[in-house]
Amino acid sequence: MIIIGAGECGGRAALGLRESGYGGPVTLIGEEAHLPYERPPLSKEAMTAAETPPAKTIATAEHLAQQGIAFVSCGPVASVEPIGKTVHLADSRVFTYDKLLLATGAVPRRLPLAGAGPRVAYLRTFDDALAIRKHLGAGRKVAIIGGGFIGLELAASARKLGSEVVVVEAQPRILMRGVPADIAAVIHALHADQGVEIACGDGIAAIEEDANAIRIQLSSGRLVEADLAVIGIGAVPVTALAEGAGLTIENGIAVDERLRTSDPNIFAAGDCCSFPLAIYGGRRVRLEAWRNAQEQGALAARNMLGAEESHVAVPWFWSDQYDFSLHIAGLSDEGRTVVRRDLGNGAFILFHLAEDGRLVAASGVGPGNAVARDIRLAQMLIAKRARPDPSGLASIEVRLKNLLAA
């Protein structure tokens, strides 16, 4: 078995093969020098820790060796040849496989106007995080292009370290993708209270940098000067190897409900693939989320061994910013009716109902873990295709656990 991509998904898949009892050879190939590590800390702990932290690895080198997993680091793959079932590395090494998993992830979407100078950064890898970290601190100015999760988490970390922060978002509001406006407004206000300036509805006209600063000319005519500009305008799935192998591409590497590509011997999982969700009528989605990478890595491992299991997990995502946490279960754009439950102390949950009354998503925000438990219960209701009474969802007196039992 060969796994290309040594991130969260690929690392979990390699370990999953052993957990499922597979005793044959397992090779895990990654482009980075680091062992497989988790990415969520990159915008948070990796920035704010008092001392430069190590990567939060999924497994140590000793554990991989004990499991008989051959880890090939710094191994860029040149091509995949499905007919001969071979993987060709850029350094001319060749590996053969019975089953192959592509867990190639995604890379930051590039801003055409931004050059490749030292004052322009993207956050995807641990090394990216360490490079950005050097620019943060009291008296430093950071411009973040893009008001999505990565940009806002990084803004929170930069403010914690005393940096001045400006977030520029071309859309009318932050968190346009998949986050209800009411919750986005809470996050916007939270950042404003912490001293972050957020400029929405303004595009980038030009970017210039020199030895002293980077200057960003906005479409409105405003000039933003900073020590560093971090671009966070989305991610693009890594599909070049799949395309070269002749696999079907549709918003990522297209897989079926069992994570099998158009080649029965090649699977794909994680950020790089799009897959059908039965709970939403087979709608094809691509998810860039830590939980999805974990779940699909484990599922791909089982199916590579013939389990024939379908992906049925309800999407779930979270983001921590300052002392608030945002949680989303399901796909909120599937809903037609929104029911609000206020939990007190600024916390609330929005339940999204389809036309037939079925709960299809739940979005919540609040201090600490105020919404985490109820979002988990909502996720279970979504999985059961439940049609809970809207009045029960709205009332804090009605426990979601009781609705689930009913």
DSSP letter at 40 equals G
Angle at 62 between CA 56 and CA 65, to 5 degrees: 120
Least confident of 23-32, 111-120, 249-258, 373-382: 111-120
pLDDT score of 115: 66
Question: Is there a contact between 141 and 163 (Cβ–Cβ < 8 Å)?
Answer: yes
- Residue range 137-185, pLDDT digits in tens: 999 999 999 999 999 999 999 999 999 999 999 999 999 988 999 999 9
CA atoms within 13 A on the CB side of 131: 15
Report CA-CA distances (Å) from 331 to 21, 45, 91, 99, 364.
34, 28, 42, 32, 13
Domain extent, residue 85, equals 2-107+235-304
- Per the listing, tokens 């977030």 go with 167
Closest-CA residue to 128 (of 104, 107, 152): 107
Closest-CA residue to 161 (of 131, 141, 187): 141
- Per the listing, tokens 């991130």 go with 7
Quote the mean pLDDT of the chain. Answer: 95
Amino acid (1-letter code) at residue 394 = A
Segments of 162-222 assigned E as strands? 164-169, 197-200, 204-209, 214-218
pLDDT score of 182: 95
Domain boundary among 181, 206, 231: 231
Average pLDDT over residues 359-387: 96
Radius of gyration of the chain (CA): 22
- Distance, in Å, from the CA atom of 237 to the CA atom of 88, rounded to the nearest integer, reads 21
Angle at 56 between CA 53 and CA 135, to 5 degrees: 40
- Per the listing, tokens 């060969």 go with 2
Q: Which residues contact 321 (CB under 8 A, 6 or more apart)?
A: 152, 153, 156, 187, 190, 191
Average pLDDT over residues 26-44: 95
Q: Residue 311 falls within a domain, yes or no? A: no
Average pLDDT over residues 92-106: 97
Q: Residue 119 falls within a domain, yes or no? A: yes
pLDDT score of 263: 98
Same domain, 246 and 97: yes
Same domain, 274 and 377: no
> The domain spanning residue 290 has which CATH number?
3.50.50.60
Same domain, 148 and 11: no
322-361 core/surface letters (b: 16 or more CB in 10 A; e: else):
bebbbbbbbbbebbeeebebeeeeebbbbbbbbeeebbbb
- Residue range 305-360, pLDDT digits in tens: 999 999 999 999 999 999 999 999 999 999 889 999 999 999 999 999 999 999 99
Region for residue 219 given its phi and psi (left: phi exceeds 0; alpha: psi -120 to 50; beta: otherwise)? alpha
Average pLDDT over residues 86-108: 97
pLDDT score of 75: 83
Question: Is there a contact between 17 and 304 (Cβ–Cβ < 8 Å)?
Answer: yes
Same domain, 72 and 131: no
Domain boundary among 186, 206, 231: 231
Domain boundary among 191, 213, 231: 231
pTM, two decimal places: 0.94
Q: For the chain, how many structural domains are there in total?
A: 3
Assess whether pLDDT exceeds 90 at residue 113: no
Same domain, 125 and 225: yes
Same domain, 22 and 168: no
Region for residue 156 given its phi and psi (left: phi exceeds 0; alpha: psi -120 to 50; beta: otherwise)? alpha
Q: Is the dihedral of CA 185, 190, 192, 193 positive or negative?
A: positive
Assess whether pLDDT exceeds 80 at residue 114: no
Q: Which residues contact 206 (CB under 8 A, 6 or more apart)?
A: 113, 216, 217
Same domain, 86 and 185: no
- Distance, in Å, from the CA atom of 248 to the CA atom of 304, rounded to the nearest integer, reads 19
pLDDT category, 211, cuts 50, 70, 90?
confident
Same domain, 221 and 360: no
